[in-house]
Amino acid sequence: MIDELKQHEPFRRSVRAWLHDNLPSDWQSLMRGASEEEHHAFQKLWFTKMREGGFVAPHWPKAWGGGGMSFAEQIVLYEELARAGAPRLVVYFISLHHVPATLLEWGTEAQRARHLPAILTGDEIWCQGFSEPNAGSDLAALRTKAVREGDHYIVNGQKIWSSHAQHARYCLLLARTDQTAPKHKGISYFILDLETPGVTRKPIKQLTGGTHFSELFFDDVRIPAENLVGGEHNGWAVAQATLASERGLTALEFAERMGVAFGLLLADAKAPTSAGKRLIDDDEIRRLLVGIHTRIMALRVLINEMLTRVLNHQGTGTEPSIIKVYHSELLRDFTSLGVRMGGVHAQYVGEVLMGGGYESGYWMHDYLYSWACTIAGGSNEIQRNIIAERALGLPREPKLALA
Ligand SMILES: Cc1cc2nc3c(=O)[nH]c(=O)nc-3n(C[C@H](O)[C@H](O)[C@H](O)COP(=O)(O)OP(=O)(O)OC[C@H]3O[C@@H](n4cnc5c(N)ncnc54)[C@H](O)[C@@H]3O)c2cc1C
């Protein structure tokens, strides 16, 4: 355990006790095969319970209804949620993380007052409209256009991969407001009400069968000028606040959850099958289990090092990129082992809406979804570029020495 966390043992015990009293037992089984409406209703129920417990927005300032918790307390909370296997508030992720990070740094007082309390009711779901068909890794190449006309902006264009957009009311939108400026300098940041005429949402069906994200089309959509965030043509700077909030404590939570899921897989391996054999007696399975266990331990060490640096106000450097590559590739290999050990039954993708990450109860679903983790939040290739340039000082475009 990180030394700085020891003084928070009483808080840890109180979170554990709260989870013991409030966590719906066997919620994963209830969600298997659930309809989208049922999944949303359950997310809302858990959101409300977490809010009553004081845990839904631990990182928000108290003045805005949050927990005002220290970083150390947040680490303890997320460790306990993960260890208890509590549901992740996937539908509210952007509402709880990206929106406050952006509005608290760049929003007007009126924008904060309108939206932050509304998010905490659990009724206001947000999505992020950044990526476009030809602007993902190179986000600044985006082409959705916003033209000022009186006290409105008129928006035309398209977004893609917008998580939970089909259920969202509001969207954090990037659009080009200056066609002539260098590409990073002609972008503005808006709050878009998705019920405005001219907005069309088209859910995208994924490999897993789910529809986690949507395309968004804008046809002469009118956004009031008061919904501009951080000033005209300043969207690139505002977007950095949004993107920074993606990192948060997600890695810690994922590593803890993977540790729990590994324990279950190991228990399965030790249990006799219907044929009276045990998977653990297979040399190859033993070798793979040891490999995954070792890598989960290494991931925890990497994360603890990063968290210790943050607790000591030393910044993070390139650790988030290293952890992202390491975690997503480990998740892929771990879920692949689950599929292999589960045999023919584990080939079934299942009907689950829970998003990714070894919690659906269907190994094939989680394996297929694990590939998304190598792309979301900046692909692994982009992370490797960051590690190469910033951690190792390698040249951007190495010149090949020709003999
Ligand atoms: C689960 C999930 C959720 C998402 N949610 C959202 C959301 O809510 N809102 C939103 O706006 N977007 C969202 N995205 C989109 C995500 O941000 C983009 O998919 C990501 O930035 C990659 O962009 P792209 O898909 O356009 O791929 P591209 O940028 O076209 O990349 C294609 C391939 O080329 C590689 N590549 C590109 N440039 C380089 C380079 N310079 N060097 C080396 N390799 C390179 C990439 O690694 C990739 O393998 C989500 C994606 C996923 C998977």
Per-residue pLDDT tens for 366-396? Answer: 898 899 999 999 999 999 999 999 999 999 8
Longest dimension (CA), the chain: 76
Closest-CA residue to 377 (of 147, 167, 97): 97
Domain limits, the chain: 3-88, 126-234, 250-391
The finding on whether 126 has its CB within 6 A of some atom of ligand 1 is: no
Contacts of 209 (CB under 8 A, 6+ apart): 349, 351
What was the pLDDT predicted at 352?
61
Residue nearest to atom 38 of ligand 1 (CA): 137
Closest-CA residue to 1 (of 55, 69, 80): 80
Q: Dump the DSSP string for 48-97.
A: HHHHHHT-SSTTS-GGGTS----HHHHHHHHHHHHHTTPPP-GGGHIIII
Residue nearest to atom 24 of ligand 1 (CA): 136
- Confidence category of residue 402, pLDDT binned at 50, 70, 90: low
pTM of the model: 0.93
pLDDT in tens, 282-291: 999 999 999 9
The one catalytic residue in 79, 80, 246, 256 is 246
- Confidence category of residue 356, pLDDT binned at 50, 70, 90: very low
Distance CA 98, CA 243 (A): 7
**For ligand 1, what atom is nearest to the CA of residue 133?**
26
Contacts of 8 (CB under 8 A, 6+ apart): 72, 73, 76
The finding on whether 93 has its CB within 6 A of some atom of ligand 1 is: no
The finding on whether 220 has its CB within 6 A of some atom of ligand 1 is: no
What was the pLDDT predicted at 400?
54
Residue 394: φ, ψ to 5°: -75, 150
What CATH number has the domain spanning 126-234? 2.40.110.10
Q: Is 269 helix (H, G, I), strand (E, B) or coil?
A: helix
What was the pLDDT predicted at 137?
96
Closest-CA residue to 96 (of 127, 70, 136, 53): 127
What was the pLDDT predicted at 317?
85
C-alpha distances in angstroms, 302 versus 260, 294, 370, 386?
A: 18, 12, 20, 17
Distance CA 136, CA 378 (A): 8
pLDDT at 313 over 80: yes
Mean pLDDT of the region 311-338: 93
What was the pLDDT predicted at 145?
98
Closest-CA residue to 93 (of 205, 231, 278, 247): 247
Q: Is 23 helix (H, G, I), strand (E, B) or coil?
A: coil
Distance CA 372, CA 387 (A): 20
Distance CA 302, CA 323 (A): 7
**Poorest-confidence range of 18-22, 57-61, 271-275?**
271-275
Structure token digits, residue 35? 């309809």
pLDDT in tens, 188-214: 999 999 999 999 999 998 887 778 899
Is 246 designated active site? yes
Q: Is 16 helix (H, G, I), strand (E, B) or coil?
A: helix
pLDDT at 55 over 90: yes
Q: How far apart are the CA of 202 and the centre of ligand 1, in A?
A: 19
What was the pLDDT predicted at 38?
84
Please name the residue that has the structure tokens 């030809």: 134
**For ligand 1, what atom is nearest to the CA of residue 163?**
8
Mean pLDDT of the region 14-42: 87
Q: pLDDT averaged over the chain?
A: 92
pLDDT at 73 over 80: yes
pLDDT at 353 over 80: no
Q: Is 362 helix (H, G, I), strand (E, B) or coil?
A: coil
CA angle 374–376–379, rounded 5-degree value: 55
Contacts of 245 (CB under 8 A, 6+ apart): 97, 98, 100, 101, 102
pLDDT at 104 over 60: yes
Mean pLDDT of the region 252-279: 90
Distance CA 78, CA 71 (A): 11
Distance CA 203, CA 190 (A): 22
- Confidence category of residue 340, pLDDT binned at 50, 70, 90: very high
What was the pLDDT predicted at 351?
65
DSSP one-letter code for 195: T
The finding on whether 163 has its CB within 6 A of some atom of ligand 1 is: yes
CATH superfamily, with its number, for domain 250-391: Butyryl-CoA Dehydrogenase, subunit A, domain 3 (1.20.140.10)
